[in-house]
Structure formats: structure tokens, C-alpha cells
Chains A and B, each alone.
With several copies, the nearest count.
Chain A
Amino acid sequence: MIRVEFLGPIQKDPLELDITNLNQLAKILQEDKELSQWLQNSAVAVNDTLVSSLDVELEDGDKVSLLPPVCGG
């Protein structure tokens, strides 16, 4: 299983999904209307490392995080 976490202001509980890559995740999340405002502007990390393309394979136990726009300080 892959754990998907939504950080900061994205008010959504984590998901546990049976997927093997980020393309599958994109397909699933794009069907979720409450996420539509976040997918275009959120960064994606796999196991706490930012990734810049969907061509990433996932292994059982991996964690995917969505990071919406930031503003520290």
C-alpha cells in the first residue's frame, strides 16, 4: 500500500492506495473535486524527496506527500 498525505491547508485525511506509480495517483486524485484547486499548484514528494515528473515508480510502503503553496517567515 502507498500512503498519500495532504499537507498544510489541504483539509483532507491521508489515503491508503494500492498503486505502483504516480500516473495512477494523478488519475485517482483528478477525479476528486475537492482537490481540483490543489493539484495544479502543489509540489509532490516521495518519501520526503521532491519529484518533478510523474515517471516515478512506487513501492509498497512508500509515502507520497502533496505540498501546497508555501509562505514561511
Chain B
Amino acid sequence: MSLELYDGGLDVPTILKKWYESEVQSNYGAFIPFVGTIRDEDGITGLSFDIYEPILESWFEAWQEKAKAKGAMIKMAHSRGDVMLHQSSYISAVFSPKRRVALEFIDEFVEDFKASAPIWKYDLKDGKRIYAKDRSTAIDGSGILGEKL
């Protein structure tokens, strides 16, 4: 499994080193990680995350299949629970024989991650954990239980 979940902030240098070294003999020509770091904004002291792992895993496996079909592969790490300012909560990476495939894949993957991965974000502010409703996206196909019957 190339999907790793950690309690709290990610150790970015260690994860990038591990991923790079694990594929260094695999004859990929391009390796593009994406690292997301908690910004100091809106008076937060950090962010906190809930993850629903069964669906995250099947979502990730579907993307791994898409990557394989292009000769590429993906890896991903994400934090559970609280992550403080300037710590990182998310890393994903694509390995690919070819540069263009890698550049396009990391963009598509990160955007779908934002729109579809079953992860919920909360602002840590004044000692409270506040759902980041305004920055959240309804998963495609949402709302069926609210349909007029």
C-alpha cells in the first residue's frame, strides 16, 4: 500500500527520502511530490483532520490503477488529528517514465483529492475545533437523501 496515515504533522524530509529511495532503481524519469503545509492565517493555531479510511483507500486504489495504465505510480501521506502551523499535513507524489505524464497527473490527482477524498478539515481556533465548511466541497453525487420524495 502506498497510502500512509500518520497521527499529527508529517516528517516531510523523511517521507520524501523514503519514497525517492524506494523507487530509485525503478527506472522512472520523473518524480513530483506535492507537499501541503498549514499556513498561518485567519488567527488559527492549526488544523485538525478526520479521515474515513475505507473509502479513502478505495479512492486511492482507483487512482493507482489510473497511474498504472500510464506506466506511472502514486504515493500519498496524510495526517490524522491536529497539525500545527507550518507543519505539513499532506504529501502526494507521482513517479512516471515521462515528464509530461507526471506533470499532468500530479495536477489531476491533487485536484481530485481536494474534491473527493473523504477527509474533513477543522480550524483550531480559540481552543475550539471548527468545521471548515466554507472551504469544503460536496462529493460528486451528494444530496440524494435530501431529494423530494
Q: A8 within 8 Å of B by Cβ?
A: yes
Residues of A within 8 A of B (CB): 7-9, 22-23, 25-27, 29-30, 39-45, 48-54, 65-73
Given contacts A7-B118, A52-B140, 19 further A-B contacts (CB under 8 A): A8-B50, A8-B118, A9-B50, A27-B149, A30-B146, A39-B146, A41-B142, A41-B146, A42-B145, A43-B138, A43-B141, A48-B54, A54-B144, A66-B145, A69-B139, A70-B137, A72-B90, A72-B114, A72-B117
Number of A-B contacts (CB under 8 A): 121
**Chief secondary structure at chain A's binding surface:** mixed
Considering only CB atoms, which chain B residue lies closest to A8 in the complex?
B120
Bound Cα distance A41, B136 (Å): 10
Q: Quick one: which of A39, A40, A71 contacts B132, CB cutoff 8 A?
A: A71
Contact between chains at A48 and B114 (CB < 8 Å): no
Residues of B within 8 A of A (CB): 36, 49-52, 54-55, 58, 78, 89-90, 99, 110, 113-122, 131-133, 135-147, 149
Contact between chains at B55 and A67 (CB < 8 Å): yes
